[in-house]
Chains A and B, each alone.
Chain A
Amino acid sequence: MGTISLRKAGKQYGAVEIIKDLDLEIADGEFVVIVGPSGCGKSTLLRMIAGLEQTTSGQILIDGRDVTLASPVERKLAMVFQSYALYPHMTVRQNMGFGLKLAKLSTGTIKAKVDAAADTLKLTPLLDRYPKELSGGQRQRVAIGRAIVREPVGFLFDEPLSNLDAALRVDMRLEIAKLHRTLGATMIYVTHDQVEAMTLADRIVVLKDGRVMQQGTPHELYEKPANLFVAQFIGSPKMNVLPCKRNGDGLLDLSGEGIMELSLTGNAAPLQIGARPEHLSLVAPESGHCRGTVEANEYLGGTTSVFVRNPKLGLINVSAPADSAFRIGETVGIQIDSSRSSLFDHSGAAIARTSVF
């Protein structure tokens, strides 16, 4: 079992509120990724769940048991730190077996468990080495191994891949995903890297200033962002946000640069339309919803990012086929896939759209 619930959990340092009345229910075996810009409180939240940081208000429950005031070890969670935090004076074997040794397990049991975990993580040949003799990726695997041997009810990862180089990060990401499938344990993973969030998560929780902006599957967050913040935070390259207005016919007026035939229900008054670069296409200047001049091309291999400047709408990033060639200064038209764009009101909240044509 490994359900983790936060009930109006809060964290204050003096007058500063880091986490505000946060509610979160994590099911057994779920992989939840907490993501947000730096300073949003995501690491604090993880450390509150771990018991390394005191929760100043509300409750934290693990498997229905109130652990708000329990010590880290009583919560039966394991944590993998960004800096690996291996014990430098212990061998890999001792590092992995330390928790079991403190739990007063017999030497034979410890050896068996460490060997099994080392086997899963391909660490067996390294068991007698010291952390200094390992590469970054190996150290990270030892840190994960140290977490596994204790058979915790849940795993907490605090930006575990940010100290690794790009290629290794992809490998370790796959390994963590595989580990989640094999162990089926609850995992909470904190990162600022939205690629990690999108690829690993069953559910993503987007945090800003200690509040949950939105939670849902990667697909939900990508396709139906609840607000402007999530829309721009999730997805790379970033979503284009263009100013707009509802006109007298109930259609969408792109700041006088074009009209989009979107049916707007009730008295919805969108002020911004969000469209991802891949949902825009470049067309002849006379067609399309708006036009502009090409300012730059970025060849990315698979696609080319074309940056188009419109005096009123700003710089618009359009994802075009890789082999398309646009001259700088050329005038082009932009076609917006209205079925996949999002509308936001004055507060930045998304406007629900019933029908689209």
Chain B
Amino acid sequence: MNTQRAPSSEFRLLATPLVIFLLVFLGFPAIVNLIYSISDVSFETLRRPKITGLSNFVAVWNDSAFWQATWFSLRFGALTALLECGLGLILAIFLSPLIEKRSWLMAILMLPLMVAPALVGLMYRLVLHEFAGPVPYYLWAWFGASLSFLGPTSAFWTLIVVETLQWTPFALLLFYMAYRAIPTEVVEASAMDGARRWSLLWYIELPLMAPTIAVALLIRFIDGFRVFDNVYVLTGSGPGGSTASLSIYIYEAFFKQGAIGKAVAASVILFVVSFAVLYGLNVIASRRKGVLK
């Protein structure tokens, strides 16, 4: 039996469709992106970009709106990731005995994930609307006062709550799986060793769930960092650009200001930074894996 790898000519032939696909759909746009990022280009001159060097990058770098958007995305990503994972973890552990007996509960808990984020944005826009929304209406009726949910001071926190409410079930699902996967005998062994509820959680359950927690935090951070749809629908980028995420900044630069070069330059910066972060995390993860094997 021949278990050796196919000769390299066949290997190349078989890989050709994939390589062509990647070149056309990833390579070509990437190159166009790079060229645009160092050119003066508008919608009229898409086919004749004028190379201007790094001026787009300088413009982005000096744009306070870019830094504001970056800061928003970082804060938004980190806070929502922490909140979603924290809540998801607590819920997973507390609800686990209940879900185990009635698995249909999980389906109900997963419902928020079924709604498109843009729809969630629209829904909250209606519900929280200062004049038409039921939430401010009842707050006025019962307490005689209401937060201006989408106003300058609370818009950021409203967005955080909206995002957290939608995506906590995702963390809950991952953590529930990880929690159920902890071997019963290991938990029983720790009970024989004298572990009570809290020491069990701290010394056994959380460390065994740590890889899942790390993955969930990363996924939720990335998702929160690049947030676009629900934020754009709910608050636009306002009030006063205070809720513009990096994605919204790039979108607005591209479509609203027609500053294609600047938008693409910002996206290149985003790409380089994300790549560096992910590469760094990967290195750390593989080192840890080397220890635990």
Contact = CB atoms under 8 A, between A and B. Distances in A.
Interface string B182-221: 0101101111111100010001100110100000000000
Contacts of A50: 192
A23 B27 CA distance: 77
A7 to B, nearest CB: 23
B293 interface: yes
B183 A83 contact: yes
Interface in A224-280: none
Contacts of A79: 188-189, 192
Interface of A: 50-52, 71-73, 77-79, 81-83, 85-89, 98-99, 102-103, 130, 132-133, 146, 150
B192 A103 contact: no
Contact of B208 (A51, A83, A88): A88
Given A88-B208, A130-B293, A132-B292, A102 B188 contact: no
A71 B185 CA distance: 16
Contacts of A103: 194
Interface residues on B, range: 10 to 19
Contacts of B203: 98, 102
Contacts of B194: 72-73, 99, 102-103
A85 B207 CA distance: 15
Contacts of B199: 102
Contacts of A77: 192
Interface in B117-163: none
B190 A98 contact: yes
B93 to A, nearest CB: 18
9 contacts: A71-B191, A73-B191, A73-B193, A73-B194, A79-B192, A85-B185, A130-B292, A130-B293, A133-B293
A146 B193 contact: yes
Chain A CB within 10 Å, residue with most, of B185, B194, B207, B293: B194
Contact of B185 (A81, A89, A132, A133): A81
Interface in B261-293: 292-293
Nearest to B194: A73
Of all A-B residue pairs in the complex, the 8 with the closest CB atoms, nearest first, are A99-B193, A73-B194, A85-B185, A85-B189, A102-B194, A89-B207, A81-B185, A79-B192
A82 B183 CA distance: 12
Contact of B188 (A85, A88, A89): A85
Contacts of A98: 190, 193, 203
A88 B203 CA distance: 11
A34 B50 CA distance: 87
A83 B192 contact: no
Contacts of A81: 185, 188-189
Contacts of A78: 192
Nearest to A81: B185
A87 B190 contact: yes
Contacts of B207: 89
Contacts of B190: 87, 98
Nearest to B207: A89
